[in-house]
Structure 1
Amino acid sequence: MKTENIEDIYELTPIQKGILFHSLYAPEFGQYFFQTRFAIRGNLNSVAFEQAWQHVVSRHTILRSGFYWEDVDNPLQVVYKQVNLPLEQQDWRELDPVEQDKRLTAFLKCDRQQGFDLSQECQMRLTLFRCADQYYQFIWSRHFLIVDGWSAPRVLDEVVQFYEAFCQDQTLSLAPSIPFQIYIDWLQQQDLSKAEVFWRRVLQGVKAPTPLTYLYADDVGSLANPNEQYNDQQITLSEAKTAALQSLAKQHQLTLNTLIQGAWTILLSRYSGEKDVVYGCTVSGRPADLVGAESIVGMLVNTLPVRVKVNPEQSLLPWLKQLQAQLVEMRQYEYSPLVDVQGWSDVPRGMPLFESIVVFENLPVPPSLREGNRSIEVPNFTNLYKINYPLTVVIIPGSSLVLGINYDFSRIDVATINGILTHFEIILHCMVTHPEVPLKDLSILTQTEQRLALELEKEITFDFDFKETSPIDQNPVQVSVSK
């Protein structure tokens, strides 16, 4: 560690400690590794683009941080005064589009496998591929320790603003950034005793996670490449179906997030046969009483348990309102360290509190990423990441809602995931078309599955007659058995 280049040293947040532990425990799986990929159209000035990134890194302490965990009681993050973040560039204009796609896929895989040396000064990489004269693919790779999903758009927004200024030989003056340490200081001031009372009440009686064993394939085979343990599948709802969900939420003063979590709760209950389910959900971790929290760049997001009881006789809308009230109450304690929350439950040490999480990516999209009057155009971007849970539901809102699942394919096969996504879409459609019905009447089955279920029911329904001499009634008794 070069002490002359050190600006500051402080402890990690609880969520950072958990991420660091999992990253060091299983580095070969590329967990908590994020890649943001987006296309760029226009006459890109690569020199100004690299310069813009360098200025943004200089503004935010977390982007200049490495991590130190050896020979210390608690791991530390070290902020460096200066960090060099080079932009790697490759020219692919002579390659046809098919070959470009192959090489980009191979690069993304290799990039994930490379990972990061967490003790180094910067946990980010930038790679630019020129695919045509005015078309580029750009990859921003970083570790989840430094930037959460809420922070990423802010970083990109500042990059675009600085880029535009440099291209026009102008000086850009932005408001001073808020150091990540401000959030750490706020965390250390919170009263965990109040959080403990809340979580012990919420999790009382939970002794094991809602199992995903009913989703696991009997034999998914050995991993051909242990570095690629996770995969992604997704479907996109039509604009009409998305608008119907939004209308339902607005009409009944519900959030879209509540509808999604309600649908996932019902699916977990149906799959497991349990009426008391627990899953995880991500929260922004940006408290209202911390001035400037929404503008802090860093790892503030947290993952916490959601416990929901499913009464089949209860009507959908009142149940959803209860769920929403529960989620609002939980926000008061979203600073709670997950490791402590698990300790306050009855789940034994060494056993996870939940095996699936829901990530609702309702992220702010800065104007600079939407406006069409820029010298370069960023039409869309995609986040690729791996998180340390067997199954992660990722929801991306928009005019067409995206339902995605990141899953451990050493435990769950692709056919099962496709089935889950199909059932997810069906249950959301049923919630829109039958919002007043009891939970038990909401179907998750496709038409084919419904037909097979009816045929199976017919096969196991039978009638038979038998005669039995009874001292009370000498008449024959007819019995009909249905299952």
Structure 2
Amino acid sequence: MEAKNIEDIYTLSPTQQGMLFHVLSAPNSGIYIEQAICILQGNLNILAFERAWQQVVHQHPSLRTAFVWKNLDKPIQIVSRRAKLLMQQYDWRELSTTVQEAELQDYLQTDQIRGFELSEPPLMRLAVIRIEKDTYKVVFSSHHLVLDAWSNAIILKQVFALYEAFCHAQSIQLEPSRPYRDYIAWLKQQDLFQAEAFWRRFLQRLKAPTPLLIDRSANNLSSVEAGYGQIHTKLKIATTTTLKYLAQKQQLTLNTLMQGAWALLLGHYSDKQDVVFGTVVSGRPSTLLGVDSMVGLFVNTLPTRVYLSSEQLLLSWLKDIHSQQIKLHQYEHTPLVKIQKWSEIAKELPLFDSILVFQNSAIDISQLSTANLKIDYVYTRGHSNYPLTIRVTPSPELLLEVIYDSQRFAIATVTRILEQFAALLDYMVTQPDCQLSALVEMLNETKRKQKATALRERRQAVAEKLKSVQPKAVRLSHGDQSSSNQIVV
């Protein structure tokens, strides 16, 4: 990196430091590489599209940021004055739909493992794949070190606003936003004295992370390839609408209902009444003027602790969770590494093994469509260092996803968890006045049915195997004389 191209230098946020540690600890794993895939339909102006993305890169320092750590006491981030965005183009029109999908999956896997050279900005790239005459698939890959979901929403809005202007030979001026270094400066001004007292009280008497108890057996690990899987389901529109109404009526958030459902499942699978999981928060301090339009990594992951009392009413219990989250909000800037240090859990153990991500800042990308270009959202890919992530994205049909460590969890187990998560939410909207014991019993009944089904299937498999065995006739003999008697075995 040339000195004349350096615009700014500053330290990392605590979240960035933790993320960088995990990235360096697991090279070529694809960890924290985020991929968003969407479909563009219409007459795509490639030059205007590339120009729009490049101008957004120029607009935000975080998108021109590199990370340097070798031979330094602490890692630093360096902002370049200029950074050229890589945009690759592919033409797959002659391939069948099946082959196109196979090629896309190969590209996504290779792209994720490829990652980024952290010292060479920008830590993002594009692939534009033409699959029909006027249909394109676009893959936007970025490193989580420089972007979160909120920031993605900001830059996507700006890209398509610029694209529309460029297609009409016009230019627009993007609204200026504060640089990410202002957030770093704000973090350094925070006094953690009160935060320490809060988190020590919050985590007192917690000696170990909540066990999931659904891991593969050690005997099965060697045959499973390392990597992460991702499955999803969508709730019906009616269920989603009722969930939103229930939350609004009870002065709760949709996120609170998700936290309650996951706490119940954790209690079910760990056989614990005191459960802890990670919750991802926006991390954007209301006291930092203009923070809503800033681009960078602001999110933080904090412990959420929930007590399960079978006699408590569901709505009362959910309100307790909501109240806890309000108290936690003023300390959401606390570095997770500090919280871990203040807890009573051994330092070699994590605070939690699962996290819940509620994509409150997600946008409906179809709303960004222009006069000559229709935009459809497809899906996102990416994983963190946590073995199990529940991700919820608000939409007319609530999207529920599970991202899991394939070596730790079998897909059948994860699928069952996802089905139970959806079933709990459905039960909440139909029986909101129930006690927690009713929800616990629903989970137990599901477990009993699953065990009965598994046993029945095993018996059927054994019966089928016995049917396939052909009987053999064995002739008995006594000394030199053979008997005419035969025994069928």
Confirm or deny a common fold (TM above 0.5): yes
Q: Secondary structure at the match of 2:343?
A: coil
2:421 corresponding residue in structure 1 = 424
Report which stretch shifted further, 326-335 or 206-215: 206-215
User: What letter matches 1:395 in structure 2?
Assistant: V
In the alignment, the residues of structure 2 paired with residue 243 and residue 62 of structure 1 have an alpha-carbon distance, to the nearest angstrom, of 37
User: What letter matches 2:380 in structure 1?
Assistant: N
User: What letter matches 2:321 in structure 1?
Assistant: L
Contact 2:368 2:375 in 1 (8 A): no
Counterpart selection for 1:404 from 396, 401, 406: 401
TM-superposed deviation, 1:215: 4.3
TM-superposed deviation, 1:189: 1.0
TM-superposed deviation, 1:75: 0.5
In the alignment, the residues of structure 2 paired with residue 213 and residue 30 of structure 1 have an alpha-carbon distance, to the nearest angstrom, of 26
TM-superposed deviation, 1:209: 0.3
TM-superposed deviation, 1:450: 4.8
Q: Secondary structure at the match of 1:423?
A: helix
- The two structures have a TM-score, normalised by structure 1, of 0.90
In the alignment, the residues of structure 2 paired with residue 425 and residue 180 of structure 1 have an alpha-carbon distance, to the nearest angstrom, of 38
User: What letter matches 1:150 in structure 2?
Assistant: W
Contact 1:426 1:444 in 2 (8 A): no
2:203 corresponding residue in structure 1 = 203
* Distance change >3 Å, CA 362–CA 223, structure 1 → 2: farther
Report which stretch shifted further, 370-379 or 151-160: 370-379
In the alignment, the residues of structure 2 paired with residue 354 and residue 213 of structure 1 have an alpha-carbon distance, to the nearest angstrom, of 13
User: What letter matches 2:175 in structure 1?
Assistant: A
Superposition map of 1:42-441 within 5 A: 42-217=42-217, 219-222=219-222, 225-226=225-226, 229-365=227-363, 369-370=366-367, 372-441=369-438
User: What letter matches 1:108 in structure 2?
Assistant: L
Q: Which string of whole-angstrom CA distances, capped at 9 and with x for unpartnered residues, describes residues 417-472 of structure 1? A: 0110111112112212222222112144497645578999xxxxxxxxxxxxxxxx
Report which stretch shifted further, 89-98 or 75-84: 89-98
- The two structures have a TM-score, normalised by structure 2, of 0.89
User: What letter matches 2:426 in structure 1?
Assistant: H
TM-superposed deviation, 1:102: 0.9
Q: Which string of whole-angstrom CA distances, capped at 9 and with x for unpartnered residues, describes residues 11-52 of structure 1? A: 000000000000001113211110011000110010111111
Tell whether 2:28 aligns with 1:31.
no
Q: Which string of whole-angstrom CA distances, capped at 9 and with x for unpartnered residues, describes residues 91-143 of structure 1? A: 11111211111111110011011111111122111110011111000011111
For structure 1, the 5+ residue unaligned runs are 457-483
TM-superposed deviation, 1:177: 2.4
* Distance change >3 Å, CA 135–CA 312, structure 1 → 2: same
In the alignment, the residues of structure 1 paired with residue 453 and residue 30 of structure 2 have an alpha-carbon distance, to the nearest angstrom, of 45
In the alignment, the residues of structure 1 paired with residue 186 and residue 163 of structure 2 have an alpha-carbon distance, to the nearest angstrom, of 33
Contact 1:423 1:444 in 2 (8 A): no
Identical-residue share of aligned pairs (%): 43
Contact 2:33 2:382 in 1 (8 A): yes
* Distance change >3 Å, CA 210–CA 452, structure 1 → 2: closer
Q: Secondary structure at the match of 1:379?
A: strand
Report which stretch shifted further, 158-167 or 357-366: 357-366
Q: Secondary structure at the match of 1:222?
A: helix
Contact 1:283 1:302 in 2 (8 A): yes
Q: Which string of whole-angstrom CA distances, capped at 9 and with x for unpartnered residues, describes residues 376-400 of structure 1? A: 1112142211110010000011111
Q: Which string of whole-angstrom CA distances, capped at 9 and with x for unpartnered residues, describes residues 244-283 of structure 1? A: 2112112211111000100100111111111111000000
Q: Secondary structure at the match of 1:21?
A: helix
Q: Secondary structure at the match of 1:333?
A: coil
2:18 corresponding residue in structure 1 = 18
